[in-house]
A and B are shown apart, each in its own frame.
Chain A
Amino acid sequence: MTLAVLRKELAVLWSSSLPYVVGAAFQAVLGVLAVNQLEVRGQAVIQPLFPIAGFLLLFTLPVLTMRSFAEEARTGTLDLLLAIPVAPRPLVVGKWLAAWLSSLVVLAPAALVAGLLAMWGDPDPGPAVSGFLGLSLLAAALAGVGVLASACTSSQPVAAMAGVFAVLVLWFAHAGTATVEAGGLVAALSLSERLRTFAGGAIDTADVAYFATVAAACLGAAALAVDLRRWR
């Protein structure tokens, strides 16, 4: 059932112009900023690409996921599924998988930068592999947050804004924590700090577990939010 939802979501999403527009905007901005970084540094290194791409994903994923539940709730197609009855979990997981896979497609052309750098210089391949793995895991977590935001409202703009706001808070969770007691605990929630490890060429299982936990927690909450619609 999850697979059927995934296939439907991919078909519906990619039959609209949204992922193409979002993907083009993502690559255009990433390309300009990445080239700028290369010029400033004067080195064929890929590491600066990852925080930029990660930050752009904060806006990309909530836009890709905003319609997942909000649009279905607004049009009434969600009611048809719940009346069958389809349990919330396969719906949530199918929609999350579709958003995650779509974000990987949007992200994929950025790998060309690694290829171009390899042509012009001799960059270390380790950070490239770990960096893209980190971006993939970040996208999984962001897709979870986006699906949760969409499950909590019937308005796509509200879902997108709530999703962006939530992931921005998580991205900058480390800011100012050095001066606060127990700041280290809050800083550990920072998405950007977790991504920094991957961009540096290291794969820490704690970071992998963190991204997976954010995604899983959001999906659990989203399934609950869908179920709670009955209580309204």
Chain B
Amino acid sequence: MIVLDGLCRSFGGRPVVRNVSFSVGPGEVVGCLGPNGAGKTTTMRLLLGLLRPSGGSACLGGPAGYLPEVFAAYDGLSVRAYLRFVARMKRLPAATVERALDAAQVREIADRPVGRLSKGQRQRVGLAQAVLGEPPVLVLDEPTIGLDPAQVVEARALVRASADAGAAVLVSTHLLAEAAAMCDRVVVLVGGAVVAEERPGDAADLEARFLRLVATAELT
């Protein structure tokens, strides 16, 4: 369960997140959409406690798996060693590492140093560390960035499987087709505020509504 209640954050007096409230229930995938600078990443960082809110509150119903917009690991470690380190930090048994390797389909690169992986492979390692231990909450910032089309489909399946297993999943994305394919609900942020919260519908319909919402919000 994820609950954001009147969340606010300012930087240098400039409001970046304004009174954001929504929730994500267990088994639900909610997409956080918005143009660049809409406050999506800041909202996620507030949710995870990486930033303190200026007002309001955010509540997670358990430990969260997090994939940042730009994922980085330790170049000198192998994928398996890195995931073992994350497992120790999360106080998880070593067996969870093997499950995460399979879930994110990175077993074939498990013994390669992270520094020698392609961008797409690194992103899959990022997904692996996020789903490590099957957390009840997943916060994924642009999870399919850098993935090829087949890997995008696999990543969507992984997100869906996590939700089907009971996780509350919040996904930020610029790709409306992805939101339409993956999300049960979308929250549209413009200028740091929620301007719509609805079911995504099909991709073309979502695109038309999104553009209309952004244009209207920017005019007001």
- Please list the residues of chain A having a beta carbon within 8 angstroms of any beta carbon in chain B: 1, 4-5, 7-8, 11-12, 15-16, 75-77, 79-86, 229-232
Contact = CB atoms under 8 A, between A and B. Distances in A.
Contacts of B86: 80, 84
A86 B70 CA distance: 20
Interface string B33-64: 00000000000010011111000000000011
B171 to A, nearest CB: 16
Given A15-B76, A77-B74, A4 B50 contact: no
Contact of B76 (A12, A77, A84, A230): A12
Contact of B52 (A12, A80, A81, A230): A230
B172 interface: no
B114 to A, nearest CB: 10
A76 B72 contact: yes
Given A4-B85, A4-B89, A230-B49, A80 B66 contact: yes
Interface of B: 45, 48-52, 63-64, 66, 68, 70-77, 81, 85-86, 88-91, 113, 129, 139
A77 B72 contact: yes
B49 A85 contact: yes
B134 to A, nearest CB: 15
A4 B88 contact: yes
Given A4-B85, A76-B71, A82-B49, 12 more contacts: A1-B89, A5-B89, A8-B77, A8-B85, A12-B77, A76-B70, A79-B45, A79-B50, A79-B68, A83-B66, A84-B89, A84-B90
Contacts of A77: 72-74
B49 A80 contact: no
Contacts of A84: 63, 86, 89-90
Question: Which of the listed residues B63, B68, B113 has the most CB atoms from chain A within 10 Å of its own CB?
Answer: B68
20 contacts: A1-B91, A4-B88, A8-B85, A11-B74, A11-B77, A12-B74, A12-B77, A15-B113, A16-B76, A75-B72, A77-B72, A77-B74, A79-B66, A80-B68, A82-B50, A84-B63, A84-B89, A84-B90, A230-B49, A231-B52
Contacts of B129: 80
Contacts of B49: 82-83, 85, 230
Contacts, number: 62
A4 B92 CA distance: 12
A75 B86 CA distance: 16
* 7 closest residue pairs by CB, A with B: A15-B76, A4-B88, A75-B72, A83-B48, A83-B66, A12-B76, A8-B85
A85 B49 CA distance: 8
B88 A1 contact: yes
Nearest to B63: A84
B99 to A, nearest CB: 18
Contact of B68 (A8, A76, A230): A76
Contacts of B75: 12, 15
A82 B49 CA distance: 8
A99 B29 CA distance: 43
Nearest to A81: B89
A136 B104 CA distance: 45
Contacts of A7: 85
Interface centre among B63, B66, B74, B86 (most CB of A within 10 A): B74
Contacts of B71: 76
Contacts of A81: 89
A79 B51 CA distance: 10
Contacts of B91: 1
Contacts of B88: 1, 4
A7 B88 CA distance: 11
A5 B88 CA distance: 9
Nearest to B45: A79
A85 to B, nearest CB: 6
A189 to B, nearest CB: 35
